[in-house]
Amino acid sequence: MHRRWPLPLVPEHVARWVELAGWGDVVVGLALMGWGIATFRREQTAVYPNQRARLLVESGPYRRTRNPMYLGMTVLYLGVTALMNSWWPLLLLPLVLWALVILVIGREERYLAQEFGEHYDAYRSRVRRWI
């Protein structure tokens, strides 16, 4: 869409500043995703959502957000959007997040509630989904 109907976020003369911010978001997003994955590996539980969780991880980034990897992916998405200097990905972001919450996170949370019961309910009441 961007190639066919360019819709820049900012004019070309300030695009460099938006690009720098975009690279910052890319780094932060990748770091958050990596921290989440490293925490799961350290705790020796499944990283992939289609595998059985050995335990409920509450350390590392999971102390502050229940979904640091998805949060990191979202920050990365915003960074790439800034690098592209295009409104199109930003306009599609609500649809992307809706699909993520409904199709992925919702299923994961149902599984965790079933698997860990009251322990997961207590964790969910203490820690926000995103931030």
**Each residue's pLDDT tens digit, 39-78:** 999 999 999 888 899 999 999 999 999 999 999 999 999 9
Alpha helices, H only, 43-127: 68-84, 87-99, 106-126
Q: What confidence score (pLDDT) does residue 41 get?
A: 96
pTM of the model: 0.91
Q: What confidence score (pLDDT) does residue 131 get?
A: 83
In this prediction, residue 2 has a pLDDT band, given cuts at 50, 70 and 90, of: confident
Residue 64: closest CA among 20, 121, 126:
126
Q: What confidence score (pLDDT) does residue 12 get?
A: 87
Q: What confidence score (pLDDT) does residue 82 get?
A: 96
Average model confidence (pLDDT) across the chain? 95
Give the residue-averaged pLDDT of 28-32. 98
CA atoms of 60 and 10, how far apart (whole Å): 36
Q: What confidence score (pLDDT) does residue 25 get?
A: 98
Maximum CA pair distance of the chain? 54
Give the residue-averaged pLDDT of 104-113. 95
Please state, in angstroms and as integers, the Cα–Cα distance from residue 53 to each residue in 13, 23, 49, following that order: 49, 33, 8
Q: Residue ranges per domain, the chain? A: 14-126
Q: What confidence score (pLDDT) does residue 43 get?
A: 96
CA atoms of 118 and 97, how far apart (whole Å): 27
